[in-house]
Amino acid sequence: MKIWLDGALRDSESARVSVFDHGLTVGDGIFETVKAVAGRPFALTRHLDRLTRSARGLGLPDPDLDEVRRACAAVLEANPVPLGRLRLTYTGGHGPLGSDRGDKGPTLVVALGETVRRPDTTAVVTVPWTRNERGALTGLKTTSYAENVVALARAHEHGATEALFGNTVGALCEGTGSNVFVVLDGEIHTPPLHSGCLAGITRRLVAEWTGAKETDLPLDVLREADEIFLTSTLRDVQAVHRVDDRELSAAPGPVTAKAMRIFDERSAADIDP
């Protein structure tokens, strides 16, 4: 596997990042996961905008987007796969032990993993931990993902593939790696950004393409919603057939099925919407 590191394509087996890189020692970094269909990255411009926003939020220098685009193209060309996930990682770089940043500049790594289309439906669980809607990292796509790793492990223990968080005021927020939508009386709703959720790119596209509304929703809405679905780069639109011990018998329901269809058609027509 060829990856991009420090301005060049390298063999992943021999590529080296410092053991003092702050991405490793203090989780000081940001990332993007970009879907690549037949070697072409989907919605790359939106991902690069979010990468820059995350860098600014963390106080990292703006990433060189020309280099990031070149890196994505080079990695995709060197590793042809039908459906892939580009992983862009951008960290504070080599620094002293402790939280002060060093002066060697950031590290950029672009790697590719092969992936498969997710099943149309999945089970989810809610977790007893909360997303902080007012934290320093809220809304940034940082590499500090350990909380998500813990919650996802809980989901797997219960035969689910995603865990959903509420926030500190009991509002529905998001999943460990996805945004959440609910259908109430035929209308589609998703939590607003002030719930603390990530500004998901799939979330935005689905909201634009289906007319979904941003609504403050209590976590309990998951017990009553007629339909529930998740969105993310790797799930696209995925219906929920079980939340905790509640079965949603006919998933995907009609509104979700329509959202899936619209997303598949529009995203296939425009690789950089």
Query: Which residues contact ligand PLP by CB under 6 A?
Result: 33, 174, 177-179, 198, 200-203, 231-233
Kindly state the smallest distance separating residue 193's Cβ from ligand PLP, in Å: 11
Rounded distance, CA 141 to CA 166, Å? 18
The single-letter code of the amino acid at 109 is V
Phi and psi at residue 216, to the nearest 5° = -70, 125
Kindly state the smallest distance separating residue 209's Cβ from ligand PLP, in Å: 13
- Angle of helix 201-210 relative to helix 254-269, nearest 10 degrees, comes to 110
* Nearest to ligand PLP of 70, 204 (CB atom): 204
The single-letter code of the amino acid at 4 is W
Kindly state the smallest distance separating residue 10's Cβ from ligand PLP, in Å: 25
Q: Tokens 């929920």 — which residue? A: 240
Rounded distance, CA 78 to CA 268, Å? 23
Strand, helix or coil for residue 119:
coil
| Nearest alpha-carbon partner for 104 in 229, 43, 17 | 17
Kindly state the smallest distance separating residue 233's Cβ from ligand PLP, in Å: 3
Rounded distance, CA 218 to CA 238, Å? 21
For the record, the structure tokens of 26 come out as 């203090």
Kindly state the smallest distance separating residue 43's Cβ from ligand PLP, in Å: 8
- Angle of helix 44-58 relative to helix 65-78, nearest 10 degrees, comes to 130
* Nearest to ligand PLP of 233, 267 (CB atom): 233
- Percentages (nearest 5) of helix, strand, coil residues in the chain: 30, 35, 40
* Nearest to ligand PLP of 79, 190 (CB atom): 190
* Nearest to ligand PLP of 25, 33 (CB atom): 33
Q: Tokens 């060189």 — which residue? A: 64
For the record, the structure tokens of 56 come out as 């600014």
* Nearest to ligand PLP of 94, 164 (CB atom): 164
Kindly state the smallest distance separating residue 20's Cβ from ligand PLP, in Å: 26
Kindly state the smallest distance separating residue 177's Cβ from ligand PLP, in Å: 4
Residue nearest to ligand PLP (CB): 200
* Nearest to ligand PLP of 84, 200 (CB atom): 200
* Nearest to ligand PLP of 122, 232 (CB atom): 232
